[in-house]
């Protein structure tokens, strides 16, 4: 890994959910419009589902040389990202599937990346979101 900011990709079965989660994370992080965060939601035709093309495109768009953290919502999104990682040539180097709750993890990941945290720190912050208590 070289310098740069860790990119974050949010993969949801819904374009609207992915876009909204990305917008919320960027706003709460105070990251600004050029934050390396991208949504990859739904299918290319706007339907529900996941798309390896959209995921790969989003990862390429946020790659700044410091790695890419990918957070997903549900089952087939996990499978799609795992398949892309297994292929080895469709995602940027140092792309990681992060085991974290989708929304809380996204916010923690973007905050940490925006503060200059490396890929390990971004993954740890997102994963720690499993422990956030609400009551």
pLDDT tens for 63-77 read 999 999 999 999 999
pLDDT tens for 32-68 read 667 899 999 999 999 999 999 999 999 999 999 999 9
Burial letters for 80-104: b for 16+ Cβ neighbours within 10 Å, e otherwise?
bbeebeeeeebbbebbbbbebbbbb
CA separation for the pair 87, 107 (Å, rounded): 28
What's the predicted TM-score (pTM) here? 0.94
Secondary structure (H, E, C), 70-133: EEECCHHHHHHHHHHHHHCCCCCCCEEECCCCHHHHHHHHHHHHHCCCCHHHHHHHHHHHHHCC
């Amino acid at each position: 890994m070289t310098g740069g900011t860790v990119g974050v990709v949010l993969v949801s079965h819904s374009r609207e959910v992915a876009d909204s989660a990305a917008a919320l994370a960027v706003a709460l992080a105070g990251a600004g419009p050029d934050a390396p965060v991208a949504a990859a939601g739904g299918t290319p035709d706007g339907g529900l589902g996941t798309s390896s093309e959209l995921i790969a495109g989003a990862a390429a768009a946020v790659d700044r040389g410091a790695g890419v953290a990918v957070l997903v919502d549900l089952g087939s999104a996990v499978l799609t990202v795992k398949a892309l990682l297994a292929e080895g040539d469709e995602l940027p180097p140092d792309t990681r599937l992060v085991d974290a709750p989708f929304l809380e993890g996204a916010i923690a990941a973007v905050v940490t990346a925006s503060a200059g945290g490396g890929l390990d720190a971004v993954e740890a912050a997102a994963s720690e979101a499993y422990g956030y208590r609400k009551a």
